[in-house]
Amino acid sequence: MMALLRSRRTMFILAGVVIVGLVVSGGVGLVRSLSTVAQTGPVPGQEEPGGGRQGEGADPLEAPEAGALGQPPNGLEYSSQEDDIECNPAECVRLVSVMSTDEDTDVSSDEAVESVYAQLLEQDWGQLLPEGAEEPSDVPRSETIMTDGDVMVADATEHDSDGAVAVLMLGNANPPAN
């Protein structure tokens, strides 16, 4: 056994295995770090309670309840189940299905989102525009984000929910608690 450990060939093989192991573990760490959502610091001028960043192993922020949207517009209803919550290390978001109450009326997803957003604007919600847009009329409302300061709402119709006309994603507007 000692003669085997003294051979140059065995030392090269052991060194190669160690190097490959280090490269693979570094690559896995890099991929994992890129796949997690970057945590942002506090908003300038706004102090966060707790004084530090959210530590590892801390629970993510809970998703807002569907009731944060208020009453649905006429002809529409909201539906959200407990399994409609998606979480990442920083926070959870809730997917809310927007469904038509009248089966005879054909409502498009854009019309449903437009109707919900119009009602939220009437309830004094703000509208965040995509980067590069200067006026709300520059982009369709479905490409904007609505917020009341605590909750953010975005069109997530690409998630495709059974029987839903549209899908909205509700998340916390405040940065993760520390």
- Is the pLDDT at 161 greater than 80? The verdict is no
Average pLDDT over residues 2-9: 79
Residue 76's beta-bridge partner residues?
A: 100
Does the structure show a pLDDT above 80 at 37? no
Strand partners, 167: 97
Give percent of the chain with pLDDT exceeding 70: 78
What is the C-alpha separation between 70 and 119, in angstroms, rounded?
Answer: 9
Q: Please indicate whether residue 85 or residue 106 has the higher confidence score (pLDDT).
A: 85
- Span 66-87, average pLDDT: 84
Query: Tokens 């300038």 belong to which residue?
Result: 44
Cβ atoms within 10 A of the Cβ of 44, count? 5
Separation of alpha carbons 143 and 113, rounded Å: 10
pLDDT band for 8, please (50, 70, 90 cuts): confident
Note the pLDDT of residue 39.
44
d(Cα 60, Cα 36) in Å, to the nearest integer?
13
Residue with tokens 């957003």: 117
Short-list 175, 177, 178, CA closest to 43:
175
Mean predicted lDDT score pLDDT of the chain: 76
55 pLDDT more than 50? no
Q: So what's the pLDDT on residue 40?
A: 41
pLDDT at 88: 79
pLDDT > 50? residue 142: yes
| Alpha carbons 26 and 24: distance in angstroms, whole number | 5
- pLDDT value at residue 19: 92
pLDDT of 42 over the 80 cut: no
Let me know: does 116 contact 164? Beta carbons within 8 Å: no
Cross-strand pairs, 172: 151
Residue type, 126: G
Confidence of residue 38 (pLDDT cuts 50, 70, 90): very low
